[in-house]
């Protein structure tokens, strides 16, 4: 009788252990299956939350009125851009995000001839200088706030964006270099516009993008005898 009782207890223990192991197996299987399904169903976005870019480009004058001629390949645009992407749509094929941020930019306008800008009260103009110059350029430093709507196509890894920006002038100066190597700088306001706004666009694959921007207002104040809108094309890394 005692042997039968011990055998029954042993059998119950084996059955209980088997049931617990089976329950644990079902629980682990369900969890793993659910995790796999969740990971599979989650969609990754092409746009990272934070995006830093270096922009290198060339400046040109559009709608120019009596402006000095530029050395095109040396009239450079350099900008550091910090952008935060707000994800709007994360799809299977197309992603959409709104990018907002901050941009610090340097506009260089290299004169083709030995010329310089000068201020005469409320207006600015340019004139030839007596000294032979190797370089003469106007530099305008701006702080811009860009807002860009971006579209990303996952299959081709191609994305493009269109947007607007508003900006303010931080400072401005002219830099001169003579043929003997002497360099000097002249700071001034030159009646340059303090605030401006414009349109911008970019397109490319991965981290490489073509970049373009256009100032809607001329660089000098209204009614200045010389004036021009700035158009910029370049690359964003």
Q: For residue 121, give its domain range.
A: 43-236
Same domain, 104 and 20: no
On whether both 23 and 139 belong to a single domain, the answer is no
Choice among 31-45, 91-105, 189-203 with the minimum mean pLDDT: 31-45
CATH number, residue 80: 2.40.160
Q: Are residues 82 and 92 in the same domain?
A: yes
Whether 8 shows a pLDDT value over 50: the answer reads no
Q: Which has more pLDDT, 46 or 116?
A: 116
User: Residue 198: is its pLDDT beyond 80?
Assistant: yes
d(CA 32, CA 21): 16
Token pair 């299987």 is found at 29
pLDDT in tens, 165-196: 999 999 999 999 998 888 999 999 999 999 99
Say whether both 37 and 113 belong to one domain: no
CB atoms within 10 A of CB 213: 26
Q: In Å, what is the CA distance from 195 to each residue of 141, 176, 215?
A: 12, 26, 10
> Do 187 and 122 lie in a common domain?
yes
Q: Is 80 helix (H, G, I), strand (E, B) or coil?
A: strand
One DSSP character per residue, 195-236 reads: EEEEEEEEEEETTEEEEEEEESS-SBPTT-SSEEEEEEEEEE
Q: Same structural domain for residues 54 and 146?
A: yes
pLDDT band, very low/low/confident/very high, at 3 (cuts 50, 70, 90):
very low
Per-residue pLDDT reduced to its tens digit, 64-75: 999 999 999 999
Give the span between the Cα atoms of 62 and 194, in whole angstroms.
19
Does pLDDT of 11 surpass 60? no
Whether residue 27 is found in the same domain as residue 50: no
Are residues 98 and 214 both part of a single domain?
A: yes
Give the torsion through C-alpha atoms of 67, 73, 75, 76, to 10 deg: 150
Residue 60 near residue 231 (C-beta atoms within 8 A): yes
> What is the domain count for the chain?
2
Residues paired with 82 in a beta bridge: 52, 102
Q: Which residues pair with 209 in a beta bridge?
A: 204, 236
**Rounded Cα distance, 197 and 106, in Å:** 15
pLDDT tier at 102, thresholds 50, 70, 90: very high
- Band (pLDDT 50/70/90 cuts) for residue 234 is very high
Q: Judge if 131 and 36 occupy the same domain.
A: no
Q: For the chain, give the mean pLDDT.
A: 85
Distance CA 137, CA 140 (A): 10
pLDDT at residue 145 greater than cutoff 80: yes
- Same domain for 189 and 151? yes
Residues 124 and 15 in one domain: no
Write down the pTM of the prediction: 0.78
Average pLDDT over residues 15-20: 43
Identify whether residues 38 and 51 lie together within a single domain: no
Are residues 199 and 213 in contact, defined by beta-carbon separation less than 8 angstroms?
A: yes
């Amino acid at each position: 009788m005692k042997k039968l009782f011990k055998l029954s207890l042993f059998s119950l223990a084996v059955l209980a252990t088997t049931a617990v192991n089976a329950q644990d197996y079902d629980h682990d299987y369900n969890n793993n299956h659910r995790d796999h399904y969740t990971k599979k169903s989650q969609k990754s976005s092409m746009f990272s939350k934070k995006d830093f870019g270096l922009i290198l480009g060339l400046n040109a004058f559009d709608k120019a009125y009596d402006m000095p001629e530029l050395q095109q390949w040396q009239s450079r645009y350099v900008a550091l851009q910090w952008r935060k992407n707000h994800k709007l749509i994360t799809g299977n094929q197309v992603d959409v995000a709104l990018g907002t941020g901050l941009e610090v930019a340097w506009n260089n306008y290299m004169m083709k001839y030995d010329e310089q800008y000068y201020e005469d009260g409320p207006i600015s103009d340019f004139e030839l200088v007596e000294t032979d110059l190797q370089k003469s350029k106007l530099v305008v430093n701006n702080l811009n706030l860009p807002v860009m709507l971006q579209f990303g196509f996952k299959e081709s890894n191609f994305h493009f964006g269109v947007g607007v920006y508003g900006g303010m002038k931080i400072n401005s100066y002219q830099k001169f270099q003579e043929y003997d190597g002497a360099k000097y700088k002249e700071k001034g306001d030159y009646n340059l516009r303090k605030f401006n706004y414009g349109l911008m666009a970019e397109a490319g694959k991965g981290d490489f993008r073509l970049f373009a921007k256009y100032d809607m207002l001329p660089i000098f104040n209204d009614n200045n005898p010389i004036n021009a809108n700035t158009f910029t094309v370049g690359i964003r890394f």
